[in-house]
Amino acid sequence: MTLLDLTPRVQASSRLDTLPVAIIGAGPVGLATAAHLAQRGIAFTIFEKGSAIGDAVRAWGHTRLFTPWEHLVDDAARTLLADTGWEDPPAAVAPTGAALVADYLEPLAAHPAIAPHIRLRTEVAAVSREGMDRTRTTGRSQVPFALRLTHPDGSAEDIAARAVVDASGTWSHPSPLGSSGLPPLGLEDVSDRILPPLPDVLGRDRARFAGRHTTVVGAGHSAANTLIALATLAKLEPGTSVTWLIRTSNAKRVTTADDELEGRGALGSRVERLVDSGRVALVDSFEISALSDEEGQVRLHSTDGRHHDADLVVANTGFRPDLDMLRELRLELDDIVEAPRRLAPMIDPNLHSCGTVEPHGYRELSHPEAGFFIVGMKSYGRAPTFLLRTGYEQVRSVVAWIAGDTEAAGRVELALPATGVCDVDGGGCC
């Protein structure tokens, strides 16, 4: 190291210690990160782009989770909440997303150790290092992070942080309908009839689907939820019908019974019965290339020249991480799933059953950019199998690393249930 390197490092390092950790996103994993930081007495700020915490979970709040409460509460959060008289919800019950927010995330966010440090309606548009774009190396790890924040009124500000935990999820970035990974040609002509994942078919959005033929695209568990809701609506509202369109030759990912997560296995079995009974029509091996308007109907065109018509299409084709906001950071991401490189082989559905996902922590989640971590749903990139328990273990280890507690950071404290929901065809889960 040269003298030129050393002086700025020493000065900057003392400044680093005075700065808070920045957490991006107030979902379950961002809030768990806050609980772990609060427990260790480390200052933090959570930036949440929504107008309330748990914004993404609220969007699918009508959907029931497939894991019960015993797997949904972070240990540090439980310890904090115990001070307030909060009691664990019934361990064996799987809540809806709305109940997860009301009965756990809201009380946690309201805790005095966390509430003053949440900034709502504040989107992190980009992350960099103060005065250092991606190309500059000297002293980089001792220079504070710079987060560019944007507000609903269009204004922007930059703030500094000692470390960044990106828990921003993937909900805002659904994968396109086209099997090439691109939006299908013709999308703009029918975009008013292409709906995002997990509409509230039996509640808020019921009138939209009643009496119409809806095609649900995708082979994951979000698709399964929507298919079950539409089949129920079809019993109640004459003229309602539903088709399930998948790009693979079988629907094993959803309908497998080989899933230790009981709720998720049950979801698959129900869809299988709906297909067998004819209440849900199945179109398989259909790779979408283009869309067109056919006298008010959406026509889906396949790469092999077939077509399929529907009044409405629900796109459940998975999610992908927003990496644009991280352009100025030095990341090490897998080429296929866009997850941190050391984590990717453990979760890539091309390689193995999801049941082999190992608990993991700061080592698998670190990047060349020291002090920056992607955690939670976003850490799985395009892989569909993330579970909250895994995220809570991630942030326990990452926060221990930030605190300098290498022993706790390196420990693994979690055993996960095996699941048989991955096969070698790829596809989506949640």
Ligand X SMILES: Cc1cc2nc3c(=O)[nH]c(=O)nc-3n(C[C@H](O)[C@H](O)[C@H](O)COP(=O)(O)OP(=O)(O)OC[C@H]3O[C@@H](n4cnc5c(N)ncnc54)[C@H](O)[C@@H]3O)c2cc1C
Cβ atoms 385, 419 nearer than 8 A: yes
Candidates 44, 60, 104, 362; binder of ligand X (CB under 6 A) is 60
CA dihedral 102, 205, 51, 106 (to 10 degrees): 0
Considering only residues 1 to 30 of the shown chain, the ones binding ligand X according to CB under 6 A are 24-30
The 10 Å Cβ neighbour count of residue 428 is 26
Residue range at the interface with ligand X (CB under 6 A); choices 63-71, 77-85, 232-240, 339-347: 63-71
Cβ atoms 419, 352 nearer than 8 A: no
Cβ atoms 43, 16 nearer than 8 A: no
For the bound state, the minimum distance from the C-beta of residue 407 to ligand X, rounded and expressed in Å, comes to: 26
Cβ atoms 399, 223 nearer than 8 A: no
Can residue 55 be called a binding residue for ligand X (CB under 6 A)? yes
Distance CA 294, CA 311 (A): 10
Can residue 47 be called a binding residue for ligand X (CB under 6 A)? yes
The residue among 337 and 430 lying less far from ligand X, judged by its C-beta, is: 430
Helix axes 28-39, 388-402, angle to 10 degrees: 30
Distance CA 226, CA 270 (A): 12
Residue range at the interface with ligand X (CB under 6 A); choices 168-176, 183-191, 292-300, 397-405: 168-176
Candidates 61, 144, 169, 340; binder of ligand X (CB under 6 A) is 169
Angle, alpha carbons 21-26-29 (nearest 5°): 80
The residue among 56 and 300 lying less far from ligand X, judged by its C-beta, is: 56
Considering only residues 360 to 389 of the shown chain, the ones binding ligand X according to CB under 6 A are 376-377, 386-388
Question: Contact letters (x/-) for ligand X, 105-144, by CB under 6 A?
Answer: ------------------xx--------------------
Can residue 392 be called a binding residue for ligand X (CB under 6 A)? no
Cβ atoms 194, 187 nearer than 8 A: yes
The residue among 303 and 353 lying less far from ligand X, judged by its C-beta, is: 353
Integer CA distances (angstroms), 88 to 72, 74, 105, 261, in order: 10, 11, 12, 20
Can residue 393 be called a binding residue for ligand X (CB under 6 A)? no
Can residue 427 be called a binding residue for ligand X (CB under 6 A)? no
Can residue 391 be called a binding residue for ligand X (CB under 6 A)? yes
Can residue 56 be called a binding residue for ligand X (CB under 6 A)? yes
The residue among 124 and 177 lying less far from ligand X, judged by its C-beta, is: 124
Choose among 163, 188, 241: nearest CA to 400: 163
C-alpha 254 chain-centroid distance: 18
Residue range at the interface with ligand X (CB under 6 A); choices 44-52, 107-115, 273-281, 344-352: 44-52
Residue ranges in contact with ligand X by CB under 6 A: 24-30, 47-50, 54-57, 60, 63, 65-67, 123-124, 167-169, 171-172, 198, 222, 325, 376-377, 386-388, 391, 430
